[in-house]
Chain A
Amino acid sequence: MKLLTVNFLTCAVKTCKTSSESYPLHFRDAQLEQNPQTFNPLFIRNILSRLDWSALTTTANELGLTAMLPDHNPADDMMVDSEGATEEEKNRAKDNVISEEVLKKLHTFLVDTAVIEGKLVCGNCGFEYPIKEGVGNFLLPPHLV
């Protein structure tokens, strides 16, 4: 299961849906695996705008991978509010290229790295979703359905 998956998951328990604590789920006892894939800078650049950076930062901190993630989304540097921006600011944004080094780190973090064993824990209800052989189990026991 790729690390980015937690950007798209929340607790399956109904009463947790309205709690901000149920997202992102938190890794516990996570065992990581590196599986190098072809580096595609364009793909990384294209998915930046759909990443929840603060949730990803939480995930990176929990896994001790803080160094892999810049402190803010590099895509934010590329966007300039067209209303308020001066010509100079707009030009600067256009010229602002995300460095290959940053993109490569993001590639390693988002594409190459997977969790093979461990748990994902809900910050609201504390339920632990087990991950075995890379597959997370989100089926709830009957008393929680």
Chain B
Amino acid sequence: MAKQYPQDGPGTPPANTLLQSLHDLPRGPTGEILTNMLPTPDTSHVSFNTIYEPSEDSFLLLDTLSSTTEVTWLRKRFASKTPYLVEVGTGSGVVIAFLTANAEQVFGRPILSLGIDVNANACHATKETVRKATAEQTAGSLYLGSITGDLCSSLLPGSVDVLVFNPPYVPSEELPALPGLERKYRDKFEHDSHLLALTTDGGEEGMETTTRLFAQIPYLLSPSGVAYILLCAQNRPEAVKSWVAEDLPKGPWLSETVGSSGKKGGWEKLQIVRIWNEKAAGNG
């Protein structure tokens, strides 16, 4: 779970926010750092034949969403509303389990959560990961379940308060087809390879699936809604953010890089972009 905080570079947050997340962590009564202590959910039951294994990107999401700046921002945003959180592409379920089990620490209150994945195996794995992570909790966050689906196509418009997406972001020659009910495979290898490719391959610039999700964001989010999207350097995050500001419908939308890792030649390998709207939420 190694992470690096890069110095100023393209797309990094201002230096003071970085310092804050390093030094100004919330502390408990005896001075212990709270959010860094949050346990990573156990995924030892998950078979990674068709499911993405928790990696640097998954851990960057956990670190970012439990960082002081995000915790402070989220608690303010949802001070008077139980947030409904949707994670798209849950894979093993490590992220949604973390956010459901640690909702009190992250959001300041219990949440409602729903997982979506295109692979039914991932949905079953996620259910178990959440069950294990929340077994000890009495705070009462409610994980509604996991559904198999193509991004957010079956979600009620205007309902989602927190959207989390770790997309298939690796540039690839082809975008793998969605697993249809009628799809036949030659053998298990072809089946497993196809499902695994869906977790990583993002087509042109690694953005084909992410672009489809962006198109759903304006209709999906509630007035207080916020989306956290993971991007890699090849996705051209700065261009994506300009596009969000200028061209995403029902704007104006704000975006900010709120977490990054793996600096390489002045560029972060990975970053988390927060996208939100100030129109109705009255949040500064």
Contact = CB atoms under 8 A, between A and B. Distances in A.
A9 B82 contact: no
Given A139-B118, A141-B182, A12 B153 contact: yes
- Could you say which of A11, A37, A110, A135 has the most chain B C-beta atoms within 10 Å of its C-beta? A135
B3 interface: no
Contact of B138 (A2, A9, A40, A50): A40
A135 B148 contact: yes
B168 interface: no
A38 B150 CA distance: 33
Contacts of B154: 9-12, 129, 138
Q: Dominant SS at the B interface?
A: loop
Contact of A135 (B120, B143, B157, B180): B120
Contacts of A38: 138, 140
Contact of A139 (B109, B127, B144, B148): B148
B237 interface: no
A137 B123 CA distance: 10
B145 A5 contact: yes
Given A5-B144, A50-B84, A135-B145, A141 B180 contact: yes
A46 B118 CA distance: 31
Interface string B176-188: 0011111000000
A4 interface: yes
A8 B81 CA distance: 16
A93 B159 CA distance: 28
B166 interface: no
B139 interface: yes
A47 B112 contact: yes
A8 B159 contact: yes
A8 B178 contact: no
Given A47-B82, A141-B180, A135 B144 contact: no
Interface of B: 81-82, 84, 109-110, 112, 114, 118, 120, 123-124, 127, 138-150, 153-157, 159, 178-182
Interface of A: 1-2, 4-5, 7-12, 17, 23, 37-38, 40, 42-43, 46-47, 49-50, 110-111, 114, 129, 132-142, 145
Contacts of B120: 132, 135, 137
19 contacts: A1-B145, A7-B156, A8-B84, A8-B159, A9-B154, A12-B150, A38-B140, A40-B138, A40-B139, A43-B82, A43-B139, A46-B82, A134-B127, A134-B145, A135-B127, A136-B145, A138-B154, A140-B150, A145-B150
A83 to B, nearest CB: 20
B176 to A, nearest CB: 14
Nearest to B139: A40
Given A8-B84, A17-B157, A139 B180 contact: yes
Nearest to B149: A138
Contacts of B157: 10, 17
A59 to B, nearest CB: 13
B147 A1 contact: yes
Contacts of B110: 40, 43, 46
Nearest to B126: A135
Nearest to B183: A142
A139 B82 contact: no
B127 to A, nearest CB: 7
A26 B156 CA distance: 14
